[in-house]
């Protein structure tokens, strides 16, 4: 199909969809008219039932924790898919080893990096790690939680990469334990659910003592699941970064020798 025809086809479709959507949206409640009985009920119940001051995390990890289990595994299978598509040539059957040799390209422009950037990024590496851990463990108290904390944790090694501390960066992202933690974090979530089953309760029932509201060790499984998600997300994102940079890093290492 020619580009013009495609655009024409799409234009007709887009106008139609816009029409249907607008027709539907005009029947929606007016701007600012909150009609969410669920939200009101949860806001009333969560602190009392689950000792969690951040009700959003009470919903994501407890009331609707089963959805989050699915989402956790969406990330897991996405990471597995990325690793699958980016697997190195030698792992692929029926394929000759990729031609190597020649001058390996410098994968970064080495010249322009100010000392300020180097010092600053190294300094906030530690801060970023701390903040990630804090966020993953305090999800039940304040906005945040395992997912956001995990992404922050995974972003920390990238600071080393920016600071050109390639060796340390490579040692972290290529560690075999990263892959183990990715799977273990994901399995941990489901195993917490199974633990409730073995006690005769429904899957993902909050069976851990709830503790005191406002405490770090409160709200039972919410905190535990949040920690598992943090581990899985941090390891998953690190793994993706490694998958993308694997070939480039090994080339850079050879170049350095």
Partner 1 sequence: MTVILGVALLALIAASALGVVRTDDVTCQTISLSFYGLLLALMFFLFRAPDVALAQITVGAIALPLMVMLAITRMKHHKEATGRARKEQQ
Partner 2 sequence: MPSPALLVAVPLIVAALLGALRKLIPRWVADLAAVLTAAGNLAIACWWMAHALHRTQVYWFGGWFPRGRMALGIGFTMDGYGCGLAALAALLTTLALIFSWKHFESAGGHFHPLMLVFLAAMSGFAVSGDIFNLFVFFELMSTAAFALCGLKTQEPAPLAGAFNFAVTNSVAAFLMLTGIALLYSATGALNLAQIGLALEGRHDRLVIAAFAFLTTGFLVKAAEFPFHFWLPDAHSVSPTPVCVLFSGIMVQLGLFGAMRVYATVFQGCFAGTGVPWLFVAIGAVTALWGGMMCFAEHHLKRLLAFSTISHTGLMTLAFGVWTKAALAGLFVYLVAHGLVKAGLFFCAGILLHRFETMSEPALFGKGRSLRWTAPLWFLGGLGLAAAPGFALWAGETHVTDGAPWAEAIFFIAGAMTGAAVLRVGLRVFAGLGDAGPVDRSAKVDEKPETTDAGRRLSPVLYAPAVVCVGGCMALAFWKGTMRVAEAAAASFMDFRGYAHMVYAGAIVVQQPVAPHDLLTRGIISAVLRALAAVAVALWAVLHLRVPRELRWPSHLEGPMRPVRELQSGHPGDYVAWLTLGCAVVGVAALWLGL
Site for partner 1 in 134-193 (CB under 8 A): 135, 143-145, 147-148, 151-152, 154-155, 158
Q: How far is CA 143 from CA 52, 60, 136, 140, in A?
A: 11, 12, 10, 8
In angstroms, what is the minimal distance from the CB of 37 to partner 1? 17
In angstroms, what is the minimal distance from the CB of 200 to partner 1? 32
Contact between 145 and 53 (Cβ < 8 Å): no
The four Cα atoms 11, 12, 18, 24 give a dihedral, to 10 degrees, of -170
Which residues in the 73-132 window bind partner 2 by CB under 8 A?
Answer: 73-74, 76-78, 80-81, 83-85, 87, 91-95
Complex with partner 1: residue 124 or 158, whichever CB lies closer: 158
In angstroms, what is the minimal distance from the CB of 123 to partner 2? 33
- C-alpha to C-alpha distance for 36 and 240, rounded to whole angstroms: 38
Interaction between residue 105 and partner 1 (CB under 8 A): yes
Complex with partner 1: residue 151 or 184, whichever CB lies closer: 151
Binding residue for partner 1, selected from 47, 49, 107, 203, defined by CB under 8 A = 107
Contact between 170 and 249 (Cβ < 8 Å): yes
Complex with partner 1: residue 86 or 196, whichever CB lies closer: 86
Interaction between residue 202 and partner 2 (CB under 8 A): yes
- Give the pair of three-digit tokens for residue 10: 């799409």
71 binds, among partner 2, partner 1, none (CB under 5 to 8 A by kind): partner 2
Pattern 162-201, partner 2, x by CB under 8 A: --------------x--xxxxxx-xx--xx-xx-xx---x
Within 10 angstroms of residue 76's Cβ, the number of other Cβ atoms is 19
- Extract long-range pairs of 64-69: CB within 8 Å, 24+ residues apart: 65/193, 65/204, 65/221, 65/225, 66/193, 66/203, 66/204, 68/189, 68/225, 68/229, 69/189, 69/190, 69/193, 69/204
Binding residue for partner 1, selected from 70, 101, 200, 256, defined by CB under 8 A = 101
Q: How far is CA 165 from CA 104, 119, 160, 172, in A?
A: 20, 11, 5, 11
- C-alpha to C-alpha distance for 235 and 247, rounded to whole angstroms: 19
Contact between 218 and 210 (Cβ < 8 Å): yes
Which residues in the 207-236 window bind partner 2 by CB under 8 A?
Answer: none
Interaction between residue 56 and partner 2 (CB under 8 A): no
Q: Give the binding site for partner 1 (CB under 8 A).
A: 31-32, 54, 56-57, 86, 98-99, 101-103, 105, 107, 135, 143-145, 147-148, 151-152, 154-155, 158, 237, 240-241, 244-245, 247-248, 251
């Amino acid at each position: 199909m020619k580009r013009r025809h495609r655009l024409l086809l799409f234009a007709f479709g887009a106008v139609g969809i816009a029409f249907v959507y607008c027709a539907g949206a005009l029947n929606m409640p007016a701007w600012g008219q909150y009609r969410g009985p669920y939200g009101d009920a949860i806001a009333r119940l969560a602190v009392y039932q689950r000792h969690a001051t951040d009700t959003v995390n009470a919903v994501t990890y407890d009331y609707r924790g089963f959805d989050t289990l699915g989402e956790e595994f969406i990330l897991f299978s996405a990471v597995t898919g990325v690793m699958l598509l980016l697997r190195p040539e030698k792992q692929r059957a029926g394929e000759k080893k990729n031609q190597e040799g020649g001058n390996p390209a410098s994968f970064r422009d080495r010249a322009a990096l100010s000392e300020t950037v180097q010092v600053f990024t190294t300094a906030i590496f530690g801060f970023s790690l701390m903040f990630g851990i804090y966020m993953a463990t305090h999800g039940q108290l304040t906005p945040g939680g395992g997912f956001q904390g995990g992404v922050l944790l995974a972003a920390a090694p990238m600071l080393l990469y920016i600071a050109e501390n390639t060796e340390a960066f490579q040692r972290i992202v290529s560690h075999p334990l990263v892959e183990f933690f990715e799977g273990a974090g994901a399995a941990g979530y489901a195993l917490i659910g199974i633990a409730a089953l073995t006690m005769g309760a429904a899957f993902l029932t909050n069976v851990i003592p709830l503790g005191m509201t406002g405490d770090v060790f409160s709200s039972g499984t919410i905190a535990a699941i949040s920690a598992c998600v943090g581990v899985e997300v941090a390891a998953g994102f690190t793994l993706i970064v490694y998958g993308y940079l694997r070939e480039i890093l090994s080339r850079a290492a050879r170049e350095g020798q």
